[in-house]
Amino acid sequence: MNKYNRRKQSQKLLIKTQFKYMSQIELSQNRTKVLVKKFQIRIRIIKIRKYKNRWNENWII
C-alpha cells in the first residue's frame, strides 16, 4: 500500500510539472504572437507614413 501511494504521488508530481512546462510554452508562444502583431502594425504605420509623404494631398491607407 505504501509503495502504491508513493508511486501515485510521483505520478501526480510528474503531471504537475508537465502541466507547468506546457503552460510556460504556451505563454511564450502567446508572447511571440503578440510581439509579431505589434511589429506588423508598426511596419504598416511606417508604410502609411512613407505613402503619405510621397503623395501629400491624396494619400490612401
In the chain, domain spans? 1-61
The per-residue pLDDT for 18 is 64
What is the torsional sign of CA 26, 31, 35, 40? positive
**Could you tell me the pTM of the whole model?**
0.35
Contacts (Cβ under 8 Å, ≥6 apart) of 59: 48, 51, 52
For 24-43, the DSSP string reads HHHHHHHHHHHHHHHHHHHH
Rounded to an integer, what distance in angstroms lies between the CA atom of residue 24 and that of residue 9?
23
Residues 6+ away with beta carbon under 8 Å from 52: 59
Residue where the block lists cell 509623404? 53
pLDDT tens-digit profile of 8-57?
A: 777 777 666 666 666 666 767 777 777 777 788 788 877 777 766 666 55
* pLDDT score recorded for residue 56: 58
